[in-house]
A and B are shown apart, each in its own frame.
Chain A
Amino acid sequence: MSRFFQLAGLFLAAALVAHLAYVLLLPRMAANALLAELHQDLGGNVFHRLDGKWLRRIVRHPVPEAAYGVCVLQLKDHPVELTGPDLRSQWAVTVYSPRGDVVYAINDRLVPEGDVRIRFEYRALDSSMGEIALPKLKEKTLVLPLQQASALMLLEAWPWHPGQTPLVHRLMKRLRCHAVAATRPARSWPNAAAQKVPMPRPRPKRPAGVP
């Protein structure tokens, strides 16, 4: 009889481990793999309009007439800015962590009117010490601190009316995602001047015709 209970315990332990591993690890691994694949295919800190394969892969139910774009944020060495003209539409920026969680969900009503200027900054904070970093508005730039050195930014813009679709798509083409020089807050040395980090070298331009 005790043999039966031993085997039943073994069975339950194996089932529990498999269940938890699947539930907890699969979303994390899938999101990580997606981020790595996107980085390899599209590059880091480059804004890409989504179409075809990647649109189908990332957005379950695309909104008709909407324009989509992504940028794989690589923030370890320098902040990254999303800049571009006023999209003259409703738009939303969603930042996904490598674990697949949504870190930020921003929309056009949360930023100043006019050109799009959002800065993503990496801040390694110790939350156990009560450190928090909050988004803030610096001049006309929305600064979003992230605790992840890499993340995925998805931008969606949908026109108020189908007639505006070409305009929104045209404006979306002018959006840029690019690394910028950092003015790092000197957390350990409160009186030290902000440290300037040299600008990264610009990425080579893609040949014409390559999306």
Chain B
Amino acid sequence: MLRELLIIMNVLLLGLIVGLWSARMTADMPALAGTVQAGAWRAWPRAGVADALPYAHLRHYLDDALPPSPGDRLELVAETDDDGRPLSGRCAYRLSGAMLPVRNWILAVHDPERREHPLAALQAADALYRPDGTLHILLDPHFQTGNWLQTPRRATYRLVLHLFGISPLQRDRILGAGLLRITRVDCS
């Protein structure tokens, strides 16, 4: 009898562990978490919306943060370059392409480990555009002329692009319009 009870308890415990583990894993699955990927950039356009899949909510609360506002803005995050290599302070990168037609934008460098204000940032009012309307932004730990964001030396970092003034209709399609490409220039 006791042996029988122990077997049942073990099976239940194993089931609970597998259930919790699968929930944690599923929350990271892009399709269920509502992640949209465009090049190296990822976004969660339906985060916080009441009818979003529960995994989309879960993903944010696992990060111990409220879901970002689904209003007229979008937060895009890149942790790798376009070739999938993690962004590293040992390397310089070039961001190039046309900025999306939005009311305002801010590109910021964040430390992935610490939730503080960004290490460096560039916003629309300060950016220099090329004659054809495109942007070239250099990410480098050392001073550069033109659009330059200083990155931490010898550490990985995260890029966050805040877009303001996006209509809800535009929101889902905006990622298909093409975003800044992130290309590694060289490494020391």
User: A-side interface residues toward B, CB under 8 Å?
Assistant: 7, 10-24, 26-27, 30-31, 34, 56-65, 90, 92, 94, 96, 100-103, 105-107, 109, 152, 154, 156, 158, 160-162
Contacts and interface: CB of A to CB of B under 8 A. Distances in A.
A133 B125 CA distance: 39
Interface centre among B8, B15, B70, B106 (most CB of A within 10 A): B15
Chain B, interface SS category = mixed
Interface stretch (B16-24, B84-92, B137-145): B16-24
A31 B48 CA distance: 11
Interface in B60-86: 60-73, 75, 77
Interface of B: 7-8, 11-20, 22-24, 26-27, 48-50, 54-55, 57-58, 60-73, 75, 77, 103-104, 106, 108, 110, 115-118, 121, 123, 125-126, 160, 162, 164-165
26 contacts: A14-B14, A18-B15, A19-B19, A19-B22, A19-B26, A21-B19, A22-B23, A23-B58, A26-B62, A27-B60, A30-B64, A34-B66, A56-B116, A60-B63, A60-B65, A60-B68, A61-B118, A61-B160, A63-B106, A64-B106, A92-B69, A101-B48, A101-B50, A101-B57, A102-B50, A161-B123
Contacts of A19: 19-20, 22-23, 26
B183 to A, nearest CB: 23
Contacts of B62: 26
Given A12-B15, A13-B15, A100-B61, A162 B126 contact: yes
Interface centre among A11, A17, A162 (most CB of B within 10 A): A11
A18 B106 contact: no
Interface centre among A21, A101, A154 (most CB of B within 10 A): A101
A17 B165 CA distance: 41
Contacts of A12: 15
Nearest to B108: A64
Contacts of B12: 10-11, 14
A47 B17 CA distance: 42
Given A23-B23, A64-B118, A101-B50, 4 more contacts: A10-B11, A60-B75, A109-B72, A158-B164
B86 to A, nearest CB: 18
Contacts of B16: 14-15, 17-18
Contacts of A158: 104, 106, 164
Contacts of B126: 161-162
